[in-house]
Structure 1
Amino acid sequence: MAPTAALVRTALNATSHLATAPPGRVAFELFRHPIRRSRVRRSERELHELAVTEELTVNGKRVRVYRWGDGRRPVLLVHGWQSRASRFAPYVRGLLDLGMSPIGFDAPGHGDSAGRTTTILEYRELIGRLAERHGPFEAVLAHSFGVCCAFLALAEGVPAGRLVAVAGVAEFGFLVEGFAATLGLNDRLEKDLARRIDRLLFPGVEAIWQRFDATHRPELVTAPILVVHDEQDDVVPLRQARLLHRAYGEPQLRLITTRGLGHRRVLTEPTVVDNVLAFLAEPLPAAPRALAAGG
């Protein structure tokens, strides 16, 4: 655990014995604010600068969108927490070679977009608006927090031919559990944080812990799915991928596990990139005859 996290953990837990509210507010603010903004890496810069950019606005926040290719066969790239669209640079060239057109965005509070915070519902709105503007998507490729956002969007009607989930979060509640474990929050603070998320981050939204789960109502996501997860992921444990596998099952969902790549390197490892591109290049399964005939 980093020294900063250790200091925050000690302060929050110590104060919680006196009054729940002040440390609860601190934990809530830490939860909803990305601690840092990722920069474009040197290895990503060339492809990043070749993108055509445009802007959208969500909840008053300016969002930067990146597009490559001629617009045919669009593939949406959905980054995770404290990340940015440029992290998908290893996939962009391969997607272009397959005749596909990658589209990515920096979520609010990330990359070159405005704002300081974002939510799964803002991701959901952005994915939907990009689908209206550039879709339907040939595929959606998501990483980490972006995975549960992508599942939500597809379950709520965004059209996509395939879904790739790398190191993904399946249970929305895991975000609280993982955050609390990282900072070593006690049970009282963890429960208080969950209440604040429900009441303050999503006021008026019902059943968020069920609705935002990627495993909720799996019959609503019918696209073929590839899940890639590292056995030693210390941010999002492998059991999240197992939950997806259990909910969707084979042959719809194919699970690939790696070892020694962790949570971030698994996204850019060349063998993972090759497997993802091969999955996207496969012919789509034929629709059932009755559906194909419109029956």
Structure 2
Amino acid sequence: MPKKTPNPTKSLKIPFFIIVSVKLCALISRKLVTAYAAKLFTTPIKHKIPKRELKMDSESLQNTLHIPAIDKSITIYEYGKSEKKALLVHGWSGRGTQLFKIADSLLEDGYSVVSFDAPAHGKSAGKSSIMSEFIESILEIEKQYGPFEIAIGHSLGGMSVLNALKNGLQVKRAVVIGSGDVVQDILDDFISKLRLKPEISVRLRDYFEKKYQVKMDDFSAYKAAKKIETPVLVIHDKNDPEVPAKAGIHIHDNLQKGSLFLTEGLGHRKILGNHDVINKIIEFILN
């Protein structure tokens, strides 16, 4: 019997026991359920590295880098030895080797690759993280391992690349794949998946803004896009169940020098290994 493969257009579901525990918290108090939702939102799942990524893992030079701005340390992967460098940024609950097929293609075209496990991801220590820590990690990596010619980010990593560009990251070209866009939309979707009332999404936003002393919407990708002069290729699947294609389209519409490539039937993760997608990335980088 042929092995069943996951449907790339089917959204990942939150476990039922979490839904039940969230509902119980909601019955006790809105403050409690907001704090619990915040904990869930900032706690990534650490997946075991799959066999397909073991080559990049074993052939990379790995080091630990301290990020002073957040007082956390992360694992760095140096893959290849070329002076031309590309920075790869994984998404939420991802790993530094997750974009391995893109990395292998970059090596074939004369680049070396630097990637990393964000705080609380992969081999990096910690149990919680948030996008601002991805951004600070990117900026510190540029200081220690740059300069980079290319930056490529997937999902939350795409949002982080755009925000890092806004905050001074210097590259010749950037690519974002399946990137989220409006922060409030992301919070709304998360609260909806937890089957909580929409008002909890607003409370969750307020919770984070008070805790981190920031405006969450300032991290929205389209806002960063407006300030970026670097050419950016936006890649998004029309059937992405995790991040709707309207996010990628909206980001593209706000870029000064943007290109848009929409795929179909690849979902949120399968897109990372697609031959046509990788060819499009290489074509964009080299032209």
TM-score, L = length of structure 1: 0.87
Cα displacement (A) at 1:8: 3.0
Aligned counterpart for 2:192 among listed residues 153, 156, 181: 181
Bigger-Rg structure (1/2): 1
After TM superposition, where is structure 1 displaced by more than 2 Å over at least 4 residues in a row? Answer: 1-18, 58-62, 172-175, 217-220
Residue in structure 2 matched with residue 269 of structure 1 by the alignment: 274
Preserved CA contact (<8 Å) 2:74 2:117? yes
Residue in structure 2 matched with residue 97 of structure 1 by the alignment: 108
Counterpart AA for 2:216:
I
Residue in structure 2 matched with residue 234 of structure 1 by the alignment: 241
CA distance in structure 1 between the aligned counterparts of 2:48 and 2:172, rounded to whole angstroms:
31
Counterpart AA for 1:42:
K
Moved more, 234-243 or 1-10: 1-10
Counterpart AA for 2:86:
V
Moved more, 61-70 or 230-239: 61-70
Answering whether residue 205 of structure 2 is matched by residue 194 of structure 1, we say yes
Residue in structure 1 matched with residue 32 of structure 2 by the alignment: 22
Answering whether residue 60 of structure 2 is matched by residue 51 of structure 1, we say yes
Counterpart AA for 2:280:
N
Q: Describe the SS at the equivalent of 1:163.
A: strand
Answering whether residue 270 of structure 2 is matched by residue 281 of structure 1, we say no
The percent of aligned pairs where both chains have the same amino acid is 25
Answering whether residue 216 of structure 2 is matched by residue 208 of structure 1, we say yes
Preserved CA contact (<8 Å) 2:12 2:242? no
Cα displacement (A) at 1:10: 4.3
Preserved CA contact (<8 Å) 1:218 1:248? yes
Answering whether residue 267 of structure 2 is matched by residue 259 of structure 1, we say no
Q: Superposed, which structure 2 residues align to 1:130-145 within 5 Å? A: 130-145=141-156
Cα displacement (A) at 1:235: 0.4
Preserved CA contact (<8 Å) 1:135 1:159? no
CA distance in structure 2 between the aligned counterparts of 1:96 and 1:3, rounded to whole angstroms:
35
Preserved CA contact (<8 Å) 1:5 1:183? no
Cα displacement (A) at 1:57: 1.8
Unaligned runs of 5+ in 2: 1-10
Aligned counterpart for 1:122 among listed residues 114, 133, 141: 133
CA distance in structure 2 between the aligned counterparts of 1:4 and 1:238, rounded to whole angstroms:
21
CA distance in structure 1 between the aligned counterparts of 2:224 and 2:279, rounded to whole angstroms:
30
Cα displacement (A) at 1:49: 0.8
Preserved CA contact (<8 Å) 2:89 2:157? yes
Q: Describe the SS at the equivalent of 2:86.
A: strand
TM-score, L = length of structure 2: 0.90
Q: Describe the SS at the equivalent of 1:116.
A: coil
Q: Deviations over 1:235-266 (max 9, x none)?
A: 000010111121116xx211111111111111
Cα RMSD (Å): 1.9
Counterpart AA for 1:243:
H
Unaligned runs of 5+ in 1: 283-295
CA distance in structure 1 between the aligned counterparts of 2:12 and 2:278, rounded to whole angstroms:
30
Aligned counterpart for 2:252 among listed residues 233, 239, 245: 245
Cα displacement (A) at 1:11: 4.1
Preserved CA contact (<8 Å) 1:232 1:260? yes
Aligned counterpart for 1:151 among listed residues 162, 165, 169: 162
Counterpart AA for 1:31:
F
CA distance in structure 1 between the aligned counterparts of 2:240 and 2:16, rounded to whole angstroms:
21
Preserved CA contact (<8 Å) 1:176 1:193? yes
Aligned pair count?
A: 275
